[in-house]
A and B are shown apart, each in its own frame.
Chain A
């Protein structure tokens, strides 16, 4: 009962708990938080080594790879699911508080929370997400499968009896799904995402330049010159890394064709997942998809010319949703609003 009272002073939240970024959408306010899913933990010196949170989100991400011995910057989610339960709970708690910060300080927020889960996640993984949201102070926890949230957020006509195909390329996973009548007809999840792109770049640079670069650098390379399809212009970027042979940091230049080559392996993984999905889709729905096209959401959709690659590979129209990064969180928010209208059809069972 007290929780319900506190609920009056809390907002309903839709959380896109992603491997790379966590987004929070508040009903009526839009996206209010968009931070990296990174937590920095400080080990206190002394008996028992008690741990406490040094930083969460952007601050913690800046520490990634730059921490002294007693601080550990970690990403509590791997491949779209929880790898470190307690840290995830702390991070969620921090974010939920942050969203409610300039509201009522004397109440612990106790919102209704909707969390997006990868469609390939197991029961145990879903339960872990539910528990950690509840542990972070949520009054009620709903789960929704990411592609469903992405489709709603992208504005696909999910209620209609026609097939809509959505490809959500997140940090840890890529989800592909065909949706009709507010239900998922086919879905698949491959554990390839933005992180794998970064890893591929790191490996490529080490192999070809004998130089080690960090995750943040790799991400910056991907954002600035990364592309999925050979373009008309060649972009260049200057980066710094430690030369493995000399052991000294060196500066060198990379161009977009090299990055395209580096990204071939993860990209082909995603393309084959899409092709498999098209193979498995019932013919009527497949025809709908062929007529209208598939929609890309998630941060990966921002990779230059990714839509073009998929269009060439599949021969179908491929569209990038408006504001692909926030589609899942927005769709989750919309689903929360739909609870009152259509019930809990769209939610995932545990």
Chain B
């Protein structure tokens, strides 16, 4: 009978760990039954281990435990053997790092007087630096977002009041294109529609829109019917000013007058959003786009709508506050 040491050197070259166990067992003149009895498991499990079929033995914790016991009986190094089995590779690193740190570490650390055994000190420090950088970027992003929100908020908040107040008598030509395109402009919607299509018109339209509220409050208060006419006249001049015959043919004009606060959303046939905001009582808005218009009104009783100077009958929405409908050539009969 050979000693465990000799057995080890003899079979060291064999690759399969189960085979190593088997050879070591045979070298000691032990049968599978003997080993099974000493570990107190079934012979089938011992046989399975010898052909490297760890899965048949059970969960990895059991397989590793049996291998450890088997290796002890036949005098093989278990720590070296276990990771070589398929499915037990993950058990390789653990005894080397954590267990030794935990078991031997206590005494070593006590004598060395080191602070806590943070075996992964370097990794953790690197992680911390990365985190610090990450947090810095996050804070920058947050500050940026906050500034952006404040920026937009401060510009869009006055938007409504400016539109509602009777416009300052702006010189019509003094409204430059740059002012129209400025983000958060008091009346962003109508200008944008036009600016998309034609340069010269962008100048004309805002001027008209801006000018309108100036005349509007007076007219609206006294006679609603009068206002449309005035508006029609104004709009009649407008295409001539623009000198765009084509646009005049295609474009329809939608005028909205608000006696009460109401949410308004208007899209034209091209899907372009012409208006999308809360309109205050006393305001008015003139929109140009391709009919039919899809209109959403938050408070129908407080709104009067004119399509190309013709008042629309909104009486069928009378009992309601919210209304969605479309306005324009094809759907004229619907109204």
Contact = CB atoms under 8 A, between A and B. Distances in A.
**Those 7 A-B pairs whose CB atoms lie nearest each other, nearest first:** A319-B65, A155-B61, A325-B102, A323-B99, A317-B40, A157-B59, A102-B128
Interface of A: 9, 29-36, 57-58, 61-62, 98, 102-104, 154-157, 220, 223, 291-293, 295, 302, 311, 315-317, 319-323, 325-326
Given A58-B110, A315-B40, A316-B40, A33 B65 contact: no
Contacts of B62: 292-293, 295, 319
17 contacts: A29-B127, A30-B120, A32-B124, A34-B101, A34-B105, A58-B115, A58-B116, A61-B110, A104-B135, A316-B40, A317-B39, A317-B65, A317-B69, A320-B68, A322-B61, A323-B94, A326-B102
A295 B68 CA distance: 13
Interface string B101-118: 111011101100111111
Contacts of A155: 59-61
A295 B95 contact: no
Interface in B41-96: 41-42, 58-62, 64-66, 68-69, 91, 94-95
A115 B115 CA distance: 23
Nearest to B57: A292
Given A155-B59, A156-B61, A322 B99 contact: yes
B124 A34 contact: no
A31 B124 CA distance: 12
A325 B110 contact: no
A13 B283 CA distance: 60
B98 interface: yes
Given A62-B110, A291-B42, 18 more contacts: A29-B120, A29-B127, A32-B124, A33-B118, A34-B105, A36-B106, A58-B115, A61-B110, A103-B131, A154-B61, A156-B59, A157-B59, A292-B58, A292-B62, A293-B65, A317-B39, A319-B66, A323-B98
Contacts of B95: 322-323
Interface of B: 39-42, 58-62, 64-66, 68-69, 91, 94-95, 98-99, 101-103, 105-107, 109-110, 113-120, 124-125, 127-128, 131-132, 135
Given A33-B116, A156-B61, A223-B107, A311 B66 contact: no
Contact of B66 (A36, A98, A104, A317): A317
B103 A325 contact: yes
Contacts of A62: 110, 113
B49 to A, nearest CB: 13
A293 B41 contact: yes
A323 B102 contact: yes
Nearest to B63: A319
A31 B68 contact: no
Nearest to A98: B116
Contacts of A291: 41-42
A35 B95 CA distance: 19
Contacts of A32: 118, 120, 124
Contacts of B131: 103-104
Contacts of A220: 107
B65 to A, nearest CB: 3
A325 B65 CA distance: 16
A30 B98 contact: yes
Contacts of B135: 9, 104
Nearest to A220: B107
Contacts of A321: 61, 65
A31 B98 contact: yes
Nearest to A321: B61
Nearest to A153: B61
A34 B119 CA distance: 10
A114 B40 CA distance: 36
A33 B116 CA distance: 6
Contacts of B64: 319, 322
